[in-house]
């Protein structure tokens, strides 16, 4: 049984050395965030999409395409140039035509397209913040796993010392074999946790490399130790920042602006459009040439325009309601994440100032009592598990605390110190 344990513990240590890039300097989170902003494919796609949308305003405000025309009129026969030399009706014509929307329509169309482009740009910012948030959360989870993996290996060595004490007591008749078997069982449990940590760590490394745009064969990323960041004293400042900086709210505001402009444009569409056409018609030299200027007025179909105005008005009401819903949704999420982070801060303090020191003191007392034959092994093992569990729970709570702050940063656009 002991040979079985030694073999698997050696395999776990080797695997830990392969999975945990301790020989690589830890990479700061800020460096990974910068790398993601430059190389993440989703961010790049959203950025180029926003830049493409920015060109729509110029297109919408431009004049309609100019038409260039060539005409030929033959007289007496369908043959080309028939009658050109003997009839003043035969000619070759060259002309151009241009439509002119009612004054103000082009500017409104440009503004509508510009508001849509701003909404697309805000959505691009939302994609960027979401990717950065995912990078941070993955980094925090990876840091938690790397920290708890070190705790497991350290405590497993401590458990080995406990097993040696149990074996020594068993050899001199002060203990029993069950104590040794319980220590070996705890070894196996730790090995199982180490194996699970390796699996989760490998998955997180793959996810983080994907977010950074790195190839999967690249070296694994080492994280810096987690530290608890301070939370603002109240949620009011965060709520105000969310109203001003949240990209989803900004996108909805631009869509409301677009709906307002589109309603104004729908009213302007009741006005007629104009057109100019000029034609030069060349005849034989014995006849005089023709010069033709045509002015056209396009009268709108008022029934169709009334339906467009009604549609634009309803869309404006819908966009306003969606903006209000988005504001309420994001502010509620800010409040929810603030409550989580605040509660997590209290939990971390309880672990740091109460549970972990108390568990360590209890374990030391139980260890001394067991060596003096005043304590049973089950009590010692239970106190050992308490220390291990509380240290793991502290690291997990710290990771969740930082993940909640990362979500708050994404919602508010504020980088917390």
Contacts of 41 (CB under 8 A, 6+ apart): 213
DSSP H or E stretch at residue 379? helix 377-412
Please give the full DSSP string across 286-325, using - where no structure is assigned: TS--EEEEEEEEE---HHHHHHHHHHHHHHHHHHHHHHHH
**Whether the Cβ atoms of residue 238 and residue 414 lie closer than 8 Å to each other:** yes
Coil, helix or strand at residue 93: strand
Would you say residue 39 lies in a domain?
yes
Question: Phi, psi at residue 103, to the nearest 5°?
Answer: -50, 130
- Can you give the residue range of the structural domain that contains 213? 2-412
| Residue 16 in this model has a pLDDT that exceeds 50 | no
Question: How many domains does the chain fold into?
Answer: 1
Write down the residue that tokens 């010392």 correspond to. 161
Would you say residue 223 lies in a domain?
yes
User: How many Cα atoms occupy the beta-carbon half-sphere of 291 within 13 Å?
Assistant: 1
Which residues partner with 278 through β-bridges? 96, 293
CA distance 389 to 178: 23
Question: Phi, psi at residue 94, to the nearest 5°?
Answer: -135, 125
Would you say residue 36 lies in a domain?
yes
Would you say residue 417 lies in a domain?
no
Would you say residue 47 lies in a domain?
yes
pTM of the model: 0.81
Number of residues that this document lists for the chain: 417
Beta strand ranges found along 57-156 (DSSP E): 67-73, 91-100
**Whole-number pLDDT of residue 173:** 66
| Residue 3 in this model has a pLDDT that exceeds 90 | no
Mean confidence (pLDDT) of the chain: 88
**pLDDT bucket at 23, cuts 50 / 70 / 90:** low
- Edge-to-edge strand list for the sheet holding 290-298: 67-73, 91-100, 273-282, 290-298
Give the whole-number percent of the chain exceeding pLDDT 90.
Answer: 64
Dihedral (C-alpha) 303, 309, 310, 312: value to the nearest 10 degrees? 150
Contacts of 227 (CB under 8 A, 6+ apart): none
DSSP H or E stretch at residue 274? strand 273-282
Coil, helix or strand at residue 275: strand
| Cα of 72 vs its chain's centroid, Å | 61
What CATH number corresponds to the domain at position 127? 1.20.1600.10
Looking at per-residue pLDDT, the higher value among 84 and 321 belongs to 321
pLDDT in tens, 365-389: 988 888 777 778 888 888 888 999 9
Would you say residue 73 lies in a domain?
yes
Lookup: tokens for 383: 């106190």
Would you say residue 72 lies in a domain?
yes
Task: Check residue 223 and report its DSSP letter.
Answer: B
Would you say residue 401 lies in a domain?
yes
pLDDT in tens, 283-318: 988 889 999 999 999 999 999 999 999 999 999 999
């Amino acid at each position: 049984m002991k040979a079985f344990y030694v073999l698997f513990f050696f395999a776990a240590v080797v695997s830990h050395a392969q999975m945990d890039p301790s020989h690589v300097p830890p990479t700061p989170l800020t460096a990974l965030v910068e790398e993601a902003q430059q190389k993440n494919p989703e961010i790049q796609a959203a950025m180029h999409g926003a830049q493409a949308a920015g060109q729509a305003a110029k297109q919408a405000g431009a004049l309609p395409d100019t038409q260039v025309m060539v005409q030929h009129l033959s007289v007496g026969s369908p043959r080309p140039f028939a009658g050109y030399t003997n009839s003043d009706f035969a000619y070759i014509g060259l002309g151009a035509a241009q439509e002119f929307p009612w004054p103000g329509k082009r500017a409104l169309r440009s503004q509508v397209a510009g508001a849509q482009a701003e909404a697309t740009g805000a959505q691009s910012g939302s994609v960027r913040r979401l990717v950065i948030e995912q990078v941070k959360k993955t980094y925090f989870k990876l840091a938690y796993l790397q920290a708890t993996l070190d705790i497991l290996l350290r405590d497993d060595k401590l458990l080995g010392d406990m097993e040696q004490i149990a074996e020594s007591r068993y050899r001199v008749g002060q203990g029993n074999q069950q104590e040794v078997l319980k220590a070996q069982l705890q070894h196996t449990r730790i090995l199982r946790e180490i194996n699970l940590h390796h699996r989760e760590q490998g998955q997180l490394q793959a996810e983080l490399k994907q977010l950074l745009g790195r190839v999967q064969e690249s070296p694994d990323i080492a994280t810096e130790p987690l530290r608890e960041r301070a939370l603002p004293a109240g949620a009011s400042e965060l709520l105000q920042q969310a109203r001003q900086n949240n990209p989803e709210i900004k996108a909805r505001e631009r869509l409301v602006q677009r709906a307002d402009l589109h309603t104004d444009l729908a009213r302007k569409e009741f006005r007629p459009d104009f057109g100019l056409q000029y034609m030069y018609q060349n005849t034989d030299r014995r006849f005089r040439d023709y010069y033709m200027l045509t002015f056209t007025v396009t009268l709108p179909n008022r029934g169709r325009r009334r339906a467009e105005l009604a549609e634009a008005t309803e869309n404006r009401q819908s966009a306003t309601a969606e903006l209000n819903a988005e504001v309420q949704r994001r502010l509620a999420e800010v409040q929810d994440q603030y409550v989580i982070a605040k509660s997590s801060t209290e939990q971390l303090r309880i672990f740091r100032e109460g549970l972990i020191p108390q568990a360590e003191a209890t374990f030391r007392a139980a260890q001394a009592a067991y060596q003096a034959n005043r304590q049973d092994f089950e009590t010692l093992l239970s106190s050992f598990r308490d220390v291990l569990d509380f240290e793991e729970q502290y690291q997990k709570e710290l990771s969740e605390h930082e993940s909640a702050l990362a979500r708050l940063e994404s919602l508010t656009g504020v980088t917390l110190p």
